[in-house]
Amino acid sequence: MTKILVIEDEDSVRSNIMELLDAEDFDAIEADNGRYGVQLAREESPDLILCDVMMPQLDGYGVLSELRKDPVTAIIPFIFLTAKASRTDWRQGMELGADDYLTKPFSRDELLCAIATRLKKQNAVEQRYSSRTKELEAQLNQLLNTDEITGLPNQRQLRSRLHQIAEEFARNGDRDKLVPIVCVDIDRFNRINESLGPSNGDRLLRAIASRLATCIGSEDFIARLSADQFALILNPVEREDAAANIPQILLNSLSIPFIINGQEIFLSASIGISLYPRDGTEIDTPIAHAETAMFAAREQGGNQYEFYRPQLQISAPERLTLETNLRYAIEREEFEVYYQPQVNLSSGQIIGAEALVRWQHPERGIISPASFIPLAEETGLIIPLGEWVLKTACLQAKAWRDTGFDPLRIAVNLSGRQFSQSQLKQRLIEILEQTELEAQWLELELTETMVVQNIDATIARFQEIRELGIQVSIDDFGTGYSSLSYLQKLPFDTLKIDRCFVRELSSNPKNAALTEAILQMARSLNLQTIAEGVETDTELKFLCEHHCNAMQGYLYSRPLPAQEFQKLLDGGKRLPIP
């Protein structure tokens, strides 16, 4: 049933409209003032709004202005009802984004005709957006999942296939089967590629891909991982030795010379094999173990294969030392939060910052997050560390606001372990209360891969977070293995475009096509967009031309300690917008 919100302060007028709408089988809800009308619009998400202009506290123009600021309510058809009929009044409403303007007194037929026209137009717009979104989804999924040179599936699609296998195993409970994951690395490929040149190097890669594909069955899966690495997922086997046949076939096939521009090219490969689920059940683990076995094969001279064995994983003594140091680093106050500015691409002004943790080790100096974050995840230390970062960032945001700066939205990364905590909502409430930061100025960033692990639980958790008034963004979009249909189900606010797509926008047609498709899709879904890793004026120009909302990257500023970030605020530095 179509839901219509009536915002009218005159009881008799509002009552008449409600009776008329009820008689026409509309689901009518009412508000007797503008403030309450805005609240109802956000809570009820009506299909259309009828709103008086002249009201105390917040007039109709103020109501429309508030609703157009919120992506959720901005697209609701809005009809003004007013006794004011001057051309100036009419223009003011239309410039704010009103869809129609009815002058009091109006007839029943006039009102119903205006409603029918707006709903018909809205339906047409929604159908067009739906159609365009499906087109963009197909285009984007093709670009995201396919290797540009060979036409093979890429690493993203490989992970998606492993995700499907994990679901099948969980559903069928067949633990007697083993799925071989094969990683193939072409020996000395960089040297060969340099001698051939880029064009012929690409031709060789396509020939390698084609030959590998002929060695496997129609139900097997092959993907290109990187420049000279390929991965295969083979049909399940019952024993390890049954998986040894294909690697040997691959080695034999690759030993046959390739002919590129009349020149014979002789190749060999190092191959590693892991078996799912024996060698790990997490999505990335079998791939990593196959690569470990592949490196072992390469260290033995190449042109051979190795199965993964736990003993291939050599635990460095420094890893144990690093873990010990990590356990004491918080209480020793060795961590510091850096802030990378997020800049509006219309005004060039700072509108927020991403909080990034840094470890200042007393002996080693700055330790890369790439070294200690995975270790913190593995040991569970990411939970106290993540909470410390969250609290510190909230305190800093509140301090800047108390100093007199405009409010900034602080974006904080949430780990998978934090996100899955049953007490997450309560901890967020406590941190906001302790830091006295208003919820609307906090944004939690979650990676695409993380949020699609359990879509139903994720939706429920997102709703809990957003009910607090906290914003939610999807980070590293396009690097995971989810489909866009998953993301359309999730109630989030912002899409962050990963730096791997922003890089080389002017020279890489695939990156340009991907970024443009992502931005178009985000607009069709009423999502805000932030591009990460912007480093050149060319990248900035592309993003502005394609209506990206905001950016962060070295073109404006690297991540900074709080004191240095405040200097940017003091100086009012603006990004020159092309």
- Location of structure tokens 């990034």: 356
Packed helices 245-254 and 198-214: angle between N→C axes, nearest 10 degrees: 140
Alpha-carbon distances, residue 258 vs 190, 208, 216, 265, 307 (angstroms): 16, 8, 19, 5, 27
- What are residue 528's DSSP bridge partners? 494
Mapped onto helix, strand or coil, the DSSP state of residue 241 is: helix
Return the pLDDT at 399. Answer: 95
Nearest to 492 by CA among 533, 453, 551, 451: 451
Q: Tell me the Ramachandran region of residue 76: left when phi exceeds 0, alpha when psi lies from -120 to 50, beta otherwise.
A: beta
Return the pLDDT at 270. Answer: 94
Return the pLDDT at 82. Answer: 85
The token duo for 365 is 């100096």
Nearest to 361 by CA among 330, 396, 316, 390: 330
The token duo for 432 is 């906001």
Name the phi and psi angles at 494, rounded to 5. -135, 140
Give the single-character DSSP code of 529: E
Return the pLDDT at 174. Answer: 66
- Local mean pLDDT, 10-residue blocks, the chain (578 residues): 93 93 93 93 92 90 89 87 75 82 89 92 82 78 84 89 86 79 91 82 93 90 90 91 89 92 89 91 85 86 88 59 84 92 95 94 82 80 93 96 93 90 91 95 87 77 91 79 63 88 79 86 87 93 94 94 94 89
Return the pLDDT at 336. Answer: 94
Query: Cα dihedral angle (460, 466, 468, 469), rounded to 10 degrees?
Result: 180
Question: What is the average pLDDT score of the chain?
Answer: 87
How many C-beta atoms lie closer than 10 Å to residue 363's C-beta?
Answer: 5
How many C-beta atoms lie closer than 10 Å to residue 86's C-beta?
Answer: 9
What CA–CA distance (Å, rounded) separates 90 from 101? 7
Return the pLDDT at 79. Answer: 94
What CA–CA distance (Å, rounded) separates 263 from 436? 70
Alpha-carbon distances, residue 110 vs 81, 102, 113 (angstroms): 12, 8, 5
**Taking the CA of residue 185 as centre, how many other CA atoms within 13 Å lie in the half-sphere pointing to its CB?**
23
- Location of structure tokens 């969980």: 170
Nearest to 201 by CA among 155, 146, 149, 250: 149
Return the pLDDT at 316. Answer: 46
